[in-house]
Chain A
Amino acid sequence: MLQITPVLAALKRHKVGTLLIGLQIALTLAIVCNALFIIHQRVTHLARPSGVAEENLLTVRNEWTNARAADLGALIHTDMETLRQLPGVQDVAVSYGYPLRGGGWESNLSIKPEDPSQAIAGARFFGDEHVLPVLGARLITGRNFRADEVRMLDSNNLSSPSVVIITKALAKRLYPDGSALGKPVYVGSSATPSTIIGIIGDMAGFSAGTWTDTTYDYVLLEPTVLIDRANAYLIRTLPGQLDTLTKVAPNALFKINRLRIIPDAENGGVRTFAEVRAHAYKDDRGLALMMGAICLVLLMITAAGIVGLTSFWVAQRRKQIGVRRALGATRNDILSYFLTENLLICMGGLMVGTVLAVGLSQWLVMRFEMERVSPLYVLLGAVVLLLLGQAATLAPALRASRVPPVEATRSV
């Protein structure tokens, strides 16, 4: 039983209060639906697969301080053998670049030599034949590198590799007809092609990228160890050994040769893959968390505001309520009066809020290169605010419905 006409008449006498609640609802809708949309996008981004068996994987960034280039192959070999001997270690690989490491090597790739119109940027991981099994990457078709294919090169003498392994996404981009295996790919500006010998499933590039990019799993692995760069030892541990090895592995390395740098974890030194992932997606998770907190507090504040103003109106109108009750209005009539009042204000606010929300979204699109908010989120925000408004009105409205008819005879 709605009482729209009298409600509207009464609202005209409380213009400012009405406007304030309406404005607050409008602004809250504008911010909340955009925030929810941002949260949704960031969470989707966060959930992208890394293509790595993330448990029981340890990464140790290692860099020599004054080793001669000629000795590096032997030094790396000794390190790997030492790490393999440690209890709890399943397998060890050496690699420059791994998924979500943060920063790495990117090259243009094409299926014809020096054809810039075709160039596709791909993340390049340089590693040995152990990288695939250690990362736990799934080979869909083809084969892994053989030990005899792995080269040791410094980055100023980088020739194109004879064989490469690429991700499914990259294979599809290069050869849309699905025939990538065994086909050539030109890496960088090389005139000699590399042969695709294996195709693996999804694998994240060297950074989490932005949530809009579509190229993040365009990854190419080549059987090369870059000896002039800071390599990483990737250690696949037996279950339950990860924490122990986090401490034991770097100490063991220092013990065989102290003239090396293993940076602190913040700079990519010794990190479990869980830490690598957490670091790569920190901005996304942080922004989603912050937006979530802001939404929650905003809704609470808005609810509190509605409770406050409605309580005031109820107190102000005790006498009128008493009169209505004396004239035969039921408790339910009074209750629904205030609920209707709030419903009308909310709907007005939500109409303005929808315009504001779209405007804010448009501004975010221009200023921050975001996507336009989906109407679903405006609708969701509107429903949440309507329910919130009704819930916030309920307590004062119940109090109003309990005003006795005898109040009509009392002075204020």
Chain B
Amino acid sequence: MFVYYFQLGMRSLRHNPVLTALMVIAIGVGVAASMTAYSVFRIVSGNPIPEKASQLYAVQIDNYGPQHNEKGEPPDEMDYTDALALQRTHKAIRETSLYPVLLSVIPSNPDLRPIRSDTYAMSADAFQMFDIPFLYGRGWSASDDQNRTPVVVIGRALNERLFHGANSVGQEINLNGYEYRITGVIDRWDPQPRFFDPISVGPFGDPIQLFIPMSRAIDQQLITAGHTDCPVENYGGGWDALLHSDCVWLLHWVELPSAADARAYRQYLQDYASEQRRAGRFEWPPNIRLRNVTQWLDYEHVVPPETSLSLYISLGFLLICLVNTVGLLLAKFLRRAPEIGVRRALGASRRTIYAQFLLEGAAIGLAGGVLGLVLTGLGVWSISLIFDAQIARLATVDLKLMALTLCVAVLAAVLAALYPTWRAAKVQPAWQLKIN
């Protein structure tokens, strides 16, 4: 029976090629538009660290005060005084401050040019906190942090480039004129969005290839490659003045496995801010924030408005294509009222009419889906025309997206076919035969 309906459906599709083509195009275009927009949206709105999104927290402490802060919100980043105080107390299970620095690998071969890779300065804890996977070796130790040791962890891509992928643990590389010993090579690690620092270089950068101890970076007076924000700009002259100033340029992350830990840490921050007030550093009541990854990404507006706007517009577009398809299917099915009447008179039940016409709808959906796949491919390819290269590089057509495209197309077509099919099944056999 299925085969017969399918043949009937195919014949009817061929019977009215223009109408059929219109429907296929409408569904294909509608599905492709929404899938293209979705391919970007799923990346920018993705959860970069699902297992720990609720256990990692970004810390904010208001060192600006009500006169300088942003509508009562503490600054996004932290000054060195507070970051260092938190690190020293180390109340969380693991914690790290971090900031991006500009470092270049200087090849020993004088004919080669230096290599720039995105670099972060952070603490030893960060590797475990952020679930950073290692290919060779491991992160540096807490004592390296204390001793400001020139150690470095490099990324897989940089290891390929410098050592052709060999185990380079124990080797030395020259960063900005100083030798650093490699303690580990990390495997592919590219959380999107870059949750731990969406502020400095934007949330969708290339994978980080160099990590050095923050204590070492401070020692070397490496200024941040990201933002520095100051409530009072002339904080004095020189590096030490910057370190003692209220300028914010560091992020501080803590790992708090349970809700009780988070409560306790919040209390600790509250107490810390009160103490700063008593000491005369803050002239305002404690104003702190502890946001987990999800809340943090939301607060930082990581999803670009262009992305969600285009997703909603394309969904509206798909809706219009569906309304269009409903109309065309209605025209197509009702044209065949005489045929339906004859079949009903010859004993076909309503169920079979339903089966036949819904299957026909599904066939149109499938054809539309195939067209949609091609157009989605084209759409994803042209994303680089619209969005930043950083985002465009992440938008890809994978099996999941292909399957979703086909499913949405078929589902949409069957949905669109529901009402026309209901009308077709209502055709009265006797009446149709009579007017014939």
Contacts and interface: CB of A to CB of B under 8 A. Distances in A.
Interface of A: 16-17, 20-21, 23-24, 27-28, 30-31, 35, 63, 65-66, 107-108, 116, 155-160, 187-191, 228, 230, 254, 258-261, 263, 266, 282-283, 286-287, 289-291, 294, 297-298, 301-302, 304-305, 308-309, 311-312, 315-316, 360, 364, 367-369, 411-412
Given A157-B237, A305-B327, A286 B242 contact: no
B193 to A, nearest CB: 17
B110 A258 contact: yes
Contacts of A308: 19, 22, 327-328, 331
B328 A228 contact: no
A315 B335 CA distance: 9
Nearest to A312: B331
B58 interface: no
A73 B224 CA distance: 22
B114 A35 contact: no
B419 A16 contact: yes
Contact of B234 (A20, A160, A283, A369): A160
Contacts of B223: 155-156, 228
B310 A290 contact: yes
Top 5 A-B residue pairs of the complex, sorted by shortest distance between their CB atoms: A286-B386, A66-B177, A188-B233, A312-B331, A20-B327
Given A189-B234, A258-B114, A287-B306, A20 B436 contact: no
B387 interface: yes
10 contacts: A16-B423, A17-B331, A116-B67, A266-B389, A283-B304, A283-B386, A304-B26, A308-B327, A309-B327, A309-B328
Contact of A190 (B19, B234, B387): B234
B22 A312 contact: no
Contact of B313 (A28, A159, A294, A411): A294
Interface stretch (B44-52, B271-279, B318-326, B360-368): B318-326
B237 A156 contact: yes
Given A282-B388, A305-B327, A190 B335 contact: no
B233 A301 contact: no
B114 A65 contact: yes
Contacts of A158: 233-234
Contacts of A190: 233-234
Contacts of B178: 66
A311 B242 CA distance: 76
Interface in B81-117: 102, 104, 106, 110, 112-114, 116
A4 to B, nearest CB: 23
Contact of B323 (A20, A294, A304, A367): A20
Contacts of A107: 233
A20 B320 contact: no
B26 A283 contact: no
A9 to B, nearest CB: 20
A65 B176 contact: yes
Interface in B403-436: 419, 423, 435-436
B177 A65 contact: yes
Interface of B: 19, 22, 25-26, 29-30, 33, 67-68, 102, 104, 106, 110, 112-114, 116, 176-178, 223, 232-234, 237-239, 241-242, 304-306, 308-310, 313-314, 316-317, 319-321, 323-324, 326-328, 330-332, 334-335, 338, 385-389, 419, 423, 435-436
Given A23-B323, A66-B106, A312-B331, A286 B232 contact: no
B387 A301 contact: no
A159 B387 CA distance: 39
B436 A411 contact: yes
Contacts of B106: 65-66, 259
Nearest to B32: A297
B386 A290 contact: yes
Contacts, number: 159
Given A254-B113, A298-B320, A312 B335 contact: yes
Given A31-B316, A289-B386, A304-B26, 8 more contacts: A21-B327, A66-B104, A155-B223, A189-B233, A304-B25, A305-B26, A305-B324, A309-B331
Contact of A258 (B113, B116, B241, B419): B113
Given A65-B106, A156-B241, A291-B313, A261 B320 contact: no
B102 A156 contact: no
A260 B309 CA distance: 41
A31 to B, nearest CB: 5
A228 B19 CA distance: 67
B317 A31 contact: yes
B313 A261 contact: no
Nearest to A157: B237
Contacts of B29: 297, 301
A155 B332 CA distance: 72
A411 B67 CA distance: 86
A259 B115 CA distance: 10
A260 B113 CA distance: 8
Contact of B330 (A17, A159, A189): A17
Given A189-B233, A261-B114, A312-B335, A27 B320 contact: yes
Contacts of A66: 104, 106, 176-178
Contacts of B177: 65-66
Contacts of A364: 309
Highest count of chain B CB atoms <10 Å: which of A31, A191, A315: A31
Nearest to B29: A297
Nearest to A258: B113
Given A31-B317, A65-B104, A157-B238, A286 B306 contact: yes
A301 B327 contact: no
A211 to B, nearest CB: 11
Contact of B331 (A27, A160, A311): A311
Contacts of B22: 304-305, 308
A100 to B, nearest CB: 15
Nearest to A116: B67
Contacts of A309: 327-328, 330-331
A80 B427 CA distance: 85
A302 B320 contact: yes
Contacts of A315: 335
Contacts of A283: 304, 306, 386-388
Contacts of B26: 301, 304-305
Contacts of A282: 386-388
B309 A368 contact: yes
Contacts of B435: 412
Contacts of A159: 234, 237
B323 A27 contact: yes
A107 B338 CA distance: 78
A296 B233 CA distance: 51
Contacts of B25: 301, 304
A399 to B, nearest CB: 13
A341 to B, nearest CB: 15
Contacts of A305: 22, 26, 323-324, 327-328
Nearest to A282: B388
A412 B436 contact: yes
A65 B8 CA distance: 73
Given A27-B323, A308-B19, A286 B314 contact: no
Contacts of A155: 223
A311 B18 CA distance: 11
Nearest to A190: B234
Given A65-B177, A156-B223, A301-B26, A261 B116 contact: yes
